[in-house]
Structure 1
């Protein structure tokens, strides 16, 4: 099986009558890719930035982005609130998100021991997903909004392969914490967001903050909270997707 990595430049490549059945693209940039006369039965696309800006994804001439967005809102009640712009709406959005995660945590508690550490197709396990959300909170709340000099919890998890240049991974734990420790860290971060949102005002939401990944690029407090809400809902979707696979394999 041929494998192409970051050092292989396939920009502008043309594939004619090529057999790509079963191929897997991870972290690949396929923006502007044109497919004509292709067989696409069973194709699965996961694009977390699909709903940013004015993105378009045409399937047989139909822009499916609004359709996918609406279907995800139907499947995950409360997801549509992630773009709230006022204090009351943000409080509602976070409350509904908390209830959604609570239900998922309760579901995991009913599954076999060790489920939280199972990786599906090389993706993060459930416990690792929670650890990443600890880091996301530290980045967009503690670092960006609150401006803390040492915002990171040692249990946070980052994809080192795609981490921003200069990110100090030494602040993160080298050994995996127990699931109980992960839950404790996660609960603390969730409470922090809840408390901050409870105290925001329209003026604070509109105030400027340095982007945590590029300080020269300004963000508003509102845009930081929107990014955090997007992170939460996307990773919840991943987690539920993989839990469904795990449960399906148990019943097979």
Structure 2
């Protein structure tokens, strides 16, 4: 590109640390940012046109106006059940979890209809995000890691179909097969088992138990062997379930259009 010292068009930067870096007189046209932390970022004197942001947004200021509360209020207006997805008490958990189960059941039926048209669509990625099958595999992994390992103390809770998040480094003993293509039925069997485990734990949850911490798992694995607040573990699971459900439906809509 004329006038530039270096050109990195089309390059992928993965697991780079740009903390406190300065991007000046730099083109980021059509750039894609995935799993990035932009805490404290400042964008000034720039063109921000046709930008789409999806993620956890806290204190976002645009031209001097904090739009965070507006965005949150609009999202809650569109979907009032979203306000239930920050449960910190046992009753709140028992209110949130059936919502998650109901919504996933509806989405699975949507996926089954797509599978009847072409099973391959459930393995297809949209904008390089996880496929529907990969999303379900990741949620199995999340439950295995945080509930079966960290909370229940199983040092080796994994299914061969578990799929860790992409930015997690390889951990000995934790499966990560990106090439396998299981059927929807295979993955749903795992999902139903893991969701039943969470349901049973929530049904029996007390505030005293939620106030406690887990016993560290001494064997290596993920997450690391240290005590975690029990309450935080359920927050992690609810957050994973809710957001991946949103992403799954977003991408299913694109696949439905393609199949039509």
TM-score of the superposition, structure 2-length normalised? 0.82
Out of 105, 127, 130, the residue aligned to residue 133 of structure 2 is 127
Partner of 1:45 in structure 2? 53
The aligned counterpart of 2:6 is none
Flag structure 1 segments of 5+ consecutive residues without an equivalent: none
In structure 2, C-alpha distance between the alignment counterparts of 1:24 and 1:194, rounded to whole Å: 37
The 5-angstrom pairing of residues 109-148 of structure 1 reads 109-111=112-114, 112-114=117-119, 115-148=121-154
Query: Unaligned stretches of 5+ in structure 2?
Result: 1-8
Aligned match for 1:199, one of 193, 204, 215? 204
Shift of residue 172, structure 1, vs aligned partner: 6.4
Partner residue, 2:34 = 26
CA 1:246–1:171: 2 relative to 1, 3 Å: closer
Map 1:113-192; keep pairs closer than 5 Å. Answer: 113-114=118-119, 115-159=121-165, 161-164=166-169, 166-170=171-175, 175-192=180-197
Secondary structure in 1 matching 2:44: coil
Q: Aligned residue for 2:69? A: 66
| Residues 1:101 and 1:208: Cα distance change in structure 2 (over 3 Å) | same
Deviation at 1:77, TM superposition (A): 4.3
Query: Counterparts of 2:191 and 2:16 in 1: how far apart (Å)?
Result: 38
Q: Secondary structure at the match of 2:157?
A: coil
Moved more, 69-78 or 129-138: 69-78
Contact 1:117 1:127 in 2 (8 A): yes
CA RMSD, aligned part only? 2.5
| 1:39-68 deviation line (CA, Å, top 9, x unaligned) | 322201122x43xxxx42212222233333
| Distance in 2, Cα, partners of 1:139 & 1:8 | 25
Match of 1:88 among 91, 94, 100: 91
Give, in whole Å, the separation in 1 of the partners of 2:225 and 2:245. Answer: 28
Secondary structure at 2:228's aligned position in 1? Answer: strand
- Partner of 2:24 in structure 1? 15
Is contact 2:210-2:229 (8 Å) kept? Answer: yes
Cα offset for 1:20?
A: 2.5
State the distance in 2 between where 1:27 and 1:2 align.
18
1:140–1:224 Cα contact (<8 Å) kept: yes
Q: TM-score, normalised by structure 1?
A: 0.85
Separation of aligned partners in 2, 1:147 and 1:185? 19
Q: Is the 8 A contact 1:108 1:116 kept in 2?
A: yes
Using the TM superposition, give the Cα deviation of residue 89 of structure 1 relative to its aligned residue in structure 2, in angstroms: 1.6
Task: Check conservation: 1:101, 1:236, Cα contact below 8 A.
Answer: yes
CA distance in 1, matches of 2:228, 2:30: 40
